[in-house]
Amino acid sequence: MARPGQQQFYNKLEAILTELPWYVEEYIDKKRRKLSAASLLNYCHDFKIFFSWLLSEGFFEGSMKDVPLPLLEKLTTQQIEDFLSFLKFELNNKDLTINRKLSALKSLFNYLQNIAETDDLQPYISRNVMAKIELNSVKEDQETTANRMEGKILIGDEYEQFRAFVANDYLQIVQDDKKKVNFYTFNRERDTAIVSLFLGSGLRLSELVGLDISDIDFKKSCARVIRKGNKEQYVYFSEQAMLDLLTYLEIRNARYKVEKNNKALFISAPMGPKGKSRRLTPRAIEKLVEKYAISFGKPSLSVHKLRHSFATRYHAEINDVPKLRRQLGHSSVQTTMIYTHIKNEDLKNAINKLNMPKD
């Protein structure tokens, strides 16, 4: 079930797909599970510019929707360079924008050559001209990196909304699938505690995976972690993370049938002939975050993006770079400075008010 904002993007996506070739629609369908509707819509806009250019240059006489696959197979590297020059000098696209459009085309052509196949198991195209074209060399400054990151992290109310989604609202998404309902109900407290701890501390995936129960200081709301360089550090986490941890620990031993010698904080469901539970693996945590992110309508959200989300919020509310650097365990302050360039909701709202008509 798409959220209202997402549904608008889906509607626009369906409309633009009616103008594009069938193989583009097939490619987009394959990407729906991994990319947001907004990202897919951007891809389609980029594809439309490319196919429109093909028609304007006389490569094909007909509609955009009917551009055949053999035409793509016969394009030369010089013709693609001409298209990139068109983007730069006719559309005034910057190098980063050109790279984005080129990346979208590279992904499409890669699908046509290496993933899609005909009924007789042949690739859609045997020659991929886009594989021969290099992206522009662009060195991002901190503000550019921050702006690119901003659309992929939790901003403003999304911070609480995502935690609440994992804690409760996900059930509405899977309510018609008994297997998923049972799996979610079994792991709800654990998954909520994991997401809450990421959002409330900014821990790295490896740091969270390695936590034992004895590493948690319940009086001071902090955790003992081993950071990069094998350095030991105590990292503070939020009150909400503490509450979610305590809720999880109330059911941990009985529900997961934890053996006394298993001190891992986060445990997998009992597996194997003997039904033993074990420490959750990094990949298992990545997959559970990915599952909730896709259902939440923000498929680009990952474990690392949860860390970025924490850092962005921390800086917006506290504005203390040295403390944030220590909390995140950065060796260089320059890495931490990226978060000072990400716009927060208060700044956006203040700017929006400047544009409001006066009475």
- Residues marked as catalytic: 204, 228, 304, 307, 330, 339
Enter the tokens of residue 267.
């445990």
Cα(329)–Cα(311) distance, rounded to whole angstroms?
11
The distance from CA 296 to its chain's CA centroid, rounded to whole angstroms, is 11
Side by side, the strands of the sheet bearing 231-236 are: 216-217, 222-227, 231-236
Encoded tokens for 305: 């993006």
**DSSP symbols for 219-260:** TTTEEEEEETTTEEEEEE--HHHHHHHHHHHHHHHHHHT--T
Tell me how crowded residue 347 is: count the other CB atoms within 10 A of its CB. 11
Residue 50 vs residues 72, 84, 89, 301, 338: alpha-carbon distances, Å: 11, 10, 15, 29, 33
* Nearest residue to 148 via CA among 343, 349, 331, 291: 343
Strand spans (E) along the chain: 216-217, 222-227, 231-236
Residue 196 vs residues 34, 166, 203, 310, 312: alpha-carbon distances, Å: 23, 9, 11, 10, 15
Q: For residues 37 and 240, what is the distance between their CA atoms, to the nearest angstrom?
A: 31
- The tokens for 123 are 């690739």
HEC profile of 65-102: HHCCHHHHHHCCHHHHHHHHHHHHHHCCCCHHHHHHHH
